[in-house]
Structure 1
Amino acid sequence: MTFDQFPPPAAPGPRIGLLGSYGGCNTGDEAILMCVLACLRAHRPDARLVVFSRNAEHTRTHQPNADEVVDWEGVPQKPVLDTLAGLDLLILGGGGILYDGEARRYLRIVRAAHERGVPTFAYAVGAGPLREADDREAVRTVLAEMTEVVVRDEESRLVLEEVGVDRDLTVTADPALLLTPEPFTEQMMRQEGLPLDTRLVGMSVREPGRAAEKLDEADYHALLADVADFLARRLDAHVVFVPMERQDVRHAHGVLSRMSAPDLGRILNNSYRPGQILGFMSHLDMVVGMRLHVVIFAALSGLPVLPLPYSGKVFDFARRTGAPALVGVAREQAGLLVAEVDRLWDEFPQRQQDLDRRVRGLKNLSRETCERCGALLDAIDGGAGRARPSEDADLPLLAPAPRQT
């Protein structure tokens, strides 16, 4: 056999970088990363997926679809820039990363990619607030040079337009809408001390931020404790606090300590993957939450959900799913909050079909973002190695889940 009888070696797949708030700081961001990686893996099985992470060890352990992980914070910049230079595409996001104090840091990396001739794609990014001059300038100049910009919600589009971003902006939905649930077993419930024979209401709390600027922390916790007590009484339920970031635990304890019936409250203590948190929703009867991705997970699970006012992204998701969208949090509004909870519980059977229809529409938008990114990738390298599922095949979204811990 002569050498020319051997088939040529397969061309290496494209190298795709992902830059976002990744590294285990926030369960919602990790859910976004899982879904974007799975989208890329399904579209291009031959691709080498490189994640720029704030905690490379965490990402290597928890993201099975990542081929390579690079620390980008607090490290020498030459290895980061060398990695950028070898990419065929850099993806920014998804999630809320274009805001004061952070936008300029992410966009410094994007600008460096542009200087090295790397195409860039903003994947369902969230924007705002943007009041600081340096961040506004970075957003205005760098986004203008990106190959394509897709934003997560209408609020983000309006923020970017106000900053002066003058280009086409596509509005989509959060990538985590495509997350696949993992089992949250009875054994896991028992380990958390959660009852299996009573109603459970999930509650997500965080620092008040702009949602309660005029409340001190004690009054803020007391307001949410009133809501939790009402839920426990009205539904004859236990209230389970679902932390999505470390600081959420402190605020959950603050609310729990001010409940008149703290024995009816629990806080999830163990660390869980995003898919497990989504799976936990199957044990709940209702969700009241400030964290966007707790609200998203509840909607995906077909639960009645009351988004508590926190930021534009939560208002936007409430509007798009037909959920009640409250404005502002003040101590005297405890009655308004519990009235909304009461109404939601009573009216949800009539609302459920509409919620399910709206969620399907949002999931379709998330899939379109995946397809849009895939089309850009195909245009870059001609689509070599592209996966071509049959027309009626479902998009496989996740690699096999790691063994439960």
Structure 2
Amino acid sequence: MNIDTQPLRIGISGSYGGMNLGDEAILQAILAQLRASLVAEITVFSHNPSDTLARHRVEHAISARLLPKKEARQVVKELDLLILGGGGILYDGGAEAYLREVFLAHELGVPVFIYAVSAGPLRTPSAMQAVRDALNHCAVITVRDRLGYRLLEDVGVQNEIHLTADPAFLLEPEEMPIDALVAEGVQQERNLVGFSVREPGPAAPDIDPEDYYALLANAADYVVERYDAEVVFVPMEKTDVQHSHAVVAHMQNAESAEILRRRYSPGQVLDLMRRFEFAVGMRLHFLIFAALQGTAFSALPYASKVVGLLEDLKIDSPPLANMGIGQLIAHVDRSWDTRKQIKAKIENRLPSLIHRANQTNALLSDFARKEPPS
């Protein structure tokens, strides 16, 4: 790669296309780091190319799933480097699809950089084999948490694995205007507590949806009454809106709950987190945003990637599966009562995570500069 005389042609493949604010935060942070260190012509493999082009400063965006393999091969062939990641994309049912461009790159001799991914669950033989075969031929592998690191080793990845951190730890806030919150109906006079909910997912696969919504609604009602709070539901992706409405529908204090309805950027949601006295969340990047703003939170770990974040921050949290309302309220209440200690833990651990997040692009830049011209 001759990075001094012409732009690097870099492809970025991941879960992009406007479906999830956390994924868009990842891409925004990756692009900011790339642009600051390398001259590049960037192509994003996206679920929604028009959304990606509208949100991000990239030269090209192409369909990640609709593009026929022959056409995808031609796009990959023109690249100097393919980046896979970041995000939790190596899991049963999804890994093989996300690895399609990686296998094409291997066939064409295009180097692949795995960018701060997490892994799991990985239990099916086909997914484990795909991950093992793909990553053992990658130039550089970086993961964002120790759980992913251990899992990749367990499935047979022999290449060196570097522990870094989620790129979203490098995201910069963008002002969320007060007027926007007023228009959403948020009352500024009371304590604001942010909530992030989603479908139960693998953490509680057997729970009845009505029981699940009632469980979270009871926790939200307790927060309203116990802390004299206004609960603000923050959808991190479109499907979160319907789950938020379902929770509010089960609340006794629904008049003290608001669901954000407008479209916000990841940076604006990050800015919003500083207005919360406390947060209760399931989505990983909702919790990362809280940590970045020093907001104490109570996590409901629906997936291993959330457990990985809690492990990094040295914060305990019980599993969501089989949790009764008493246990959930006790957990939330304990987190509220110890929020100063939680904030201190975050303040102590956050610099290390930011440093680790910076290491991913440092490894990428070093690799690009050492590669011979294509």
TM-score (norm 1): 0.88
Choose from 173, 177, 181 the match for 1:181. Answer: 173
Q: Does 1:229 align with 2:221?
A: yes
> Aligned residue for 2:332?
341
Choose from 49, 57, 62 the match for 2:50. Answer: 57
> Aligned residue for 1:365?
356
The answer to whether the Cα contact below 8 Å between 1:16 and 1:49 also exists between their aligned partners in 2 is yes
Deviation per residue, 1:219-247 (Å, 9 max, x gap): 01111111101111111011111111111
| In 2: Cα distance, 1:351 partner to 1:288 partner | 13
Q: Does 1:84 align with 2:76?
A: yes
The answer to whether the Cα contact below 8 Å between 2:235 and 2:241 also exists between their aligned partners in 1 is yes
Choose from 282, 285, 310 the match for 2:277. Answer: 285
> Aligned residue for 1:42?
36
Letter in 2 for 1:301: Q
Q: Does 1:356 align with 2:350?
A: no
> Aligned residue for 2:262?
270
Letter in 1 for 2:268: Q
Which residues in structure 2 correspond to 1:192-271 (within 5 Å)?
192-271=184-263
Letter in 1 for 2:187: P
Between the aligned residues of both structures, percent identity stands at 43
Instruction: For residue 371 of structure 2, give the secondary structure of its aligned residue in structure 1.
Output: helix
Stretch deviating more after TM superposition (215-224 or 129-138): 129-138
Letter in 2 for 1:56: P
Choose from 7, 11, 18 the match for 1:13. Answer: 7
Letter in 1 for 2:50: E
The answer to whether the Cα contact below 8 Å between 1:220 and 1:331 also exists between their aligned partners in 2 is no
Q: Does 1:140 align with 2:123?
A: no
Letter in 1 for 2:24: E
Choose from 163, 171, 174 the match for 1:171. Answer: 163
Deviation at 1:364, TM superposition (A): 0.5
Deviation at 1:381, TM superposition (A): 5.0
| In 2: Cα distance, 1:339 partner to 1:12 partner | 59
Deviation at 1:352, TM superposition (A): 2.4
Q: Does 1:325 align with 2:317?
A: yes
Deviation at 1:167, TM superposition (A): 2.4
Deviation per residue, 1:324-359 (Å, 9 max, x gap): 321233352x22222222222222224423311201
| In 2: Cα distance, 1:272 partner to 1:255 partner | 22
Name the count of aligned residue pairs: 370
Choose from 122, 125, 128 the match for 2:114. Answer: 122
Letter in 2 for 1:16: I
| In 2: Cα distance, 1:353 partner to 1:372 partner | 30
| In 2: Cα distance, 1:350 partner to 1:73 partner | 45
The answer to whether the Cα contact below 8 Å between 1:113 and 1:119 also exists between their aligned partners in 2 is yes
Deviation at 1:74, TM superposition (A): 1.4
Deviation at 1:155, TM superposition (A): 1.2
The answer to whether the Cα contact below 8 Å between 1:221 and 1:255 also exists between their aligned partners in 2 is yes
> Aligned residue for 1:107?
99
| In 2: Cα distance, 1:372 partner to 1:128 partner | 24
The answer to whether the Cα contact below 8 Å between 1:319 and 1:325 also exists between their aligned partners in 2 is no
Deviation per residue, 1:99-124 (Å, 9 max, x gap): 11211112121011111111111000
The answer to whether the Cα contact below 8 Å between 2:96 and 2:130 also exists between their aligned partners in 1 is yes
TM-score (norm 2): 0.95
Deviation at 1:316, TM superposition (A): 1.4
Deviation per residue, 1:184-241 (Å, 9 max, x gap): 1111111211112221100011110122223200001111111101111111011111
Instruction: For residue 44 of structure 2, give the secondary structure of its aligned residue in structure 1.
Output: strand
The answer to whether the Cα contact below 8 Å between 2:297 and 2:339 also exists between their aligned partners in 1 is no
The answer to whether the Cα contact below 8 Å between 1:214 and 1:330 also exists between their aligned partners in 2 is no
The answer to whether the Cα contact below 8 Å between 2:315 and 2:342 also exists between their aligned partners in 1 is no
The answer to whether the Cα contact below 8 Å between 2:274 and 2:294 also exists between their aligned partners in 1 is no
Stretch deviating more after TM superposition (129-138 or 366-375): 129-138
The answer to whether the Cα contact below 8 Å between 2:142 and 2:360 also exists between their aligned partners in 1 is yes
Change (3 A) 1:183 1:381: farther
Change (3 A) 1:235 1:78: same
| In 1: Cα distance, 2:342 partner to 2:204 partner | 29
Change (3 A) 1:340 1:265: same
Instruction: For residue 109 of structure 2, give the secondary structure of its aligned residue in structure 1.
Output: coil
Deviation per residue, 1:162-197 (Å, 9 max, x gap): 222222211221110100011111111112111122
| In 2: Cα distance, 1:172 partner to 1:40 partner | 16
> Aligned residue for 1:23?
17
Stretch deviating more after TM superposition (307-316 or 27-36): 307-316
The answer to whether the Cα contact below 8 Å between 1:306 and 1:324 also exists between their aligned partners in 2 is no
| In 1: Cα distance, 2:132 partner to 2:316 partner | 33
Letter in 1 for 2:217: A
| In 2: Cα distance, 1:72 partner to 1:243 partner | 24
Deviation at 1:40, TM superposition (A): 0.6
Question: Structure 2: which 5+ runs fail to align?
Answer: none
